[in-house]
Amino acid sequence: MIKDITIGQYIPGETFVHKLDPRTKIILSILFIVSLFIVDKFIGYILIVGFLGLTVYVAKLPPRYLYKGLKPVFFLIIFTAILNIFMIKGTYDTLIFEFGFIKVYSEGVRTAAFMALRLIFLIMGTSVLTLTTSPIELTDGIERLLRLIGKEMAHELAMMMTIALRFIPTLMDETDKIMMAQKARGADFESGGLVQKAKSLIPLLIPLFISSFRRADELAMAMESRAYRGGNGRTRMKELKFSNKDIVAFAIFSILFIGSFIIRFSL
């Protein structure tokens, strides 16, 4: 399960998507999430699937990475769908199943399906962003976008967000190594009830916290030894510039975004 987490991973490449300005990818990712909640008909997800499939194909991303990113949250998606099915009530003429006090309405099934699809496409869309954007590019892109709101603390906020994102895979690998070492020493993380499983995590969490603090201290020392002083007066080897590729990307995405509005308010 831990190895299936793909958030924060980056796959180097020279594709059209990889070469886009990071600000373009961040903005399009945000608009993609907005479009997921604009669509309220299943036909609208045809556009979303088409756009997402085209992006994955152009970026030459292995589909298994997107699938691995979904595996850790399958339980959450199923649990959310079940809650919507049994908690949302509709009119009696839309009742499709009844067993004692359990009643299932068509509105609940429809809402559950929409929520499941939105969560799936939300995770896949954000995974494409991190898989095709290096941590340095992501930091620069977030910083430049935050400057539009306010220059103060823009660099620090962008740096903190990117470091946190970057160290997710590292901490997952560290967790997996500690878990394997504890299992070799006889630790059992599977059997027992909920309380027993929680207690069995103590030998895992303590070394993980110690390792995390050690890594944070090493990173701070490395940044200080390189005279890191934040964003004031900081120069970049590669300045961010919008190109024709970004215009093409916005034009292609506008089809999805405008189509989402047409499907919602016209059909």
Instruction: Give the span between the Cα atoms of 112 and 59, in whole angstroms.
Output: 31
Nearest CA to 119 out of 90, 86, 79, 87 is that of 79
Instruction: Give the span between the Cα atoms of 169 and 166, in whole angstroms.
Output: 7
Q: How confident is the model at residue 215 (pLDDT cuts 50, 70, 90)?
A: confident
Instruction: Inform me whether the pLDDT recorded for 117 exceeds 80.
Output: yes
Q: What is the pLDDT of residue 247?
A: 92
Q: What is the pLDDT of residue 220?
A: 83
Task: List the single range of 105-114, 185-194, 253-262 with lowest mean pLDDT.
Answer: 185-194
Instruction: Inform me whether the pLDDT recorded for 83 exceeds 80.
Output: yes
For residue 104, the cross-strand partners are 97
On the CB side of 129, CA atoms within 13 Å amount to: 26
The CA distances from residue 228 to 116, 147, 159, 173, 221, in Å, are 44, 20, 12, 28, 10
Q: How confident is the model at residue 181 (pLDDT cuts 50, 70, 90)?
A: confident
Structure tokens at 135: 């941590």
* Mean pLDDT for all residues in the chain: 80
Helix locations, the chain, DSSP H: 22-38, 44-59, 63-70, 74-87, 106-131, 135-147, 154-184, 194-200, 202-225, 244-265
Q: Mean pLDDT, to the nearest integer, of 59-74?
A: 81
Between 21 and 195, name the one with better pLDDT: 21
Q: What is the pLDDT of residue 25?
A: 92
Domain ranges of the chain: 2-168+237-265
pLDDT tens profile 225-252: 877 776 666 666 677 788 899 999 999 8
Instruction: Give the span between the Cα atoms of 25 and 200, in whole angstroms.
Output: 41
pLDDT tens profile 141-170: 887 887 776 666 677 777 777 777 777 777
Instruction: Inform me whether the pLDDT recorded for 124 exceeds 70.
Output: yes
Cβ distance 49 to 87 under 8 Å? no
Between 155 and 211, name the one with better pLDDT: 211
Q: How confident is the model at residue 24 (pLDDT cuts 50, 70, 90)?
A: very high
Q: What is the pLDDT of residue 183?
A: 78
Other CB atoms within 10 A of residue 133 CB: 22
Instruction: Give the span between the Cα atoms of 138 and 218, in whole angstroms.
Output: 22
Task: List the single range of 6-10, 11-15, 121-125 with lowest mean pLDDT.
Answer: 6-10
Q: Looking at residue 152, what DSSP letter applies? A: T
% of the chain exceeding 70 in pLDDT: 87
Instruction: Inform me whether the pLDDT recorded for 1 exceeds 60.
Output: no
Angle at 210 between CA 205 and CA 214, to 5 degrees: 145
